[in-house]
Amino acid sequence: MPELELFVPGRLCLFGEHSDWAGAWRTVAPQLSPGCCLVTGTDQGLRAHADRADALEIESVLADGTRRGPVQIPLELGALDAAAREGGFMSYAAGAAACVRERFEVGGLRLALEADLPMGKGLSSSAALCVTVVRAFSRLYALGLDRRDEMELAYAGERRAGSECGRMDQVCAFGRRPVLMRFDGDALSLEPLVPGRTFHLLVVDLRGTKDTRRILRDLNACFPDAPGALAAGVRDALGPQNVALLERARAALETGAPEALGALMVEAQALFDARVAPACRELAAPRLHEVLAHRAVRELALGGKGVGSQGDGCAQLVARDAEARRRLAAALESELGVACHPLTLEPACAATSDEESV
């Protein structure tokens, strides 16, 4: 079997963070609102060289230059589950491999990873790793998995590693194009979208820290019917208010209205800060708000908000144009010490490789 070269992007949630797991609560509480989000793949991601091996073997070079591994784990469920419980970046690979091994008769896998995707910043680096592992097994052992299969196994693997993530993150299996996702209990629907014009976004690595597992734990504690105004506010913001805002965001994307998209990000962040952030101290996000209030953002951007689970991971900004984005990145990097990554959404959003085709 030939060796493989794979690329899986990260995932940027433009609107609707936390609505995936919130919508899943409808399985036991149908009175809750369905969830929906608007997501896209990032320009950055994980590049992997994959081939067969006798065990699960992984080594990686991360975006900050950190080298991890090589790690070698026997391809036995007990050993994989033990590695998945250890925590850390490699635990997600072990969880995904355990799910594949439990379902299919496969041999081992050797992965050499290079990442330009920031880790732990709300860009679904863990989901990208899980998808990479599942896709490598599928291609090397002819499992015939389609994108939805990859998503389901990657999701199961991430949960197996102890994450309380919802089903949004694994949409990175669908590549870089924008996708509207809807979550109704166990039901998931995906609708690829075509931007009406080119949008120039900037993803800002805040170089801060956040505890995603703490965020997910605290917000899940507000569901399905926890008493009090605080919990009710979280359910309202992630439910009906989110659905209404998403319809407007979809229209702004498809009609090619960057001013409207930027204004909606400002509105979404204000809603999140007022109704959701008080439920978890990790969401105070001083670094995020410092960036959003910066003079360069006021001058060169049309709006912005937090990313993923929110907190001090990343911010996203809608720049006025490509030149404004370049100037904005330079100002933020020099004055605040952040790291900026461009993201361009274009009308011609056909995938650029087989790995990214829908």
Q: Is the dihedral of CA 298, 63, 307, 175 positive or negative?
A: positive
Domain span(s) for CATH 3.30.70.890 in the chain: 199-345
The pLDDT of residue 350: 43
pLDDT (average), residues 191-217: 92
pLDDT (average), residues 6-17: 94
What's the chain's average pLDDT?
A: 92
Find where tokens 């919130």 sit: 22
The pLDDT of residue 124: 82
pLDDT (average), residues 213-226: 94
* Structure-token pair, residue 82: 């033990």
The pLDDT of residue 349: 53
Per-residue b or e along 4-43, where b marks 16 or more CB atoms closer than 10 Å to that residue's CB: bebbbbbbbbbbbbbbbbbbbbbeeeeebbbbbbbbbbbb
pLDDT (average), residues 325-331: 98
The pLDDT of residue 355: 42
Please state which architecture CATH assigns to domain 4-192. Answer: 2-Layer Sandwich (3.30)
pLDDT (average), residues 219-236: 97
Cβ pair 42, 207 in contact under 8 A? no
Find where tokens 């491999």 sit: 97
The answer for residues whose C-beta is within 8 angstroms of residue 128's C-beta and 6 or more apart is 8, 9, 10, 11, 45, 46, 117, 172
Specify the range with the lowest mean pLDDT, choosing from 123-127, 222-226, 244-248, 272-276.
123-127
The pLDDT of residue 4: 92
- H/E run at residue 254: helix 240-255
pLDDT digits (tens, 9 = 90+) for 303-327: 999 998 899 989 999 999 999 999 9
Q: Is residue 165 over pLDDT 90?
A: no
pLDDT (average), residues 235-244: 97
Specify the range with the lowest mean pLDDT, choosing from 112-126, 139-153, 283-297.
112-126
Q: Is residue 99 over pLDDT 70?
A: yes
Specify the range with the lowest mean pLDDT, choosing from 60-74, 250-264, 268-282.
60-74
The pLDDT of residue 352: 43
State what percent of residues in the chain have pLDDT above 70. 97
pLDDT digits (tens, 9 = 90+) for 264-305: 999 999 999 999 999 999 999 999 999 999 999 999 999 999
- The answer to whether domain 199-345 has CATH 3.30.70.890 is yes
Per-residue b or e along 46-83, where b marks 16 or more CB atoms closer than 10 Å to that residue's CB: bbbebbbbebbbbebbbbeeeeebebebebeeebbeeb
The pLDDT of residue 23: 95
The pLDDT of residue 334: 98
Say how many CA atoms lie within 13 Å of 256 toward its Cβ: 8
State what percent of residues in the chain have pLDDT above 90. 78
* Structure-token pair, residue 7: 């690329």
CA distances from 100 to 105, 249, 319 (A): 8, 36, 41
Predicted confidence band at 356 (pLDDT cuts at 50, 70, 90)?
very low
Predicted confidence band at 1 (pLDDT cuts at 50, 70, 90)?
low
The pLDDT of residue 330: 98
pLDDT (average), residues 82-106: 93
Specify the range with the lowest mean pLDDT, choosing from 40-44, 117-121, 124-128, 173-177.
117-121
Domain span(s) for CATH 3.30.230.10 in the chain: 4-192
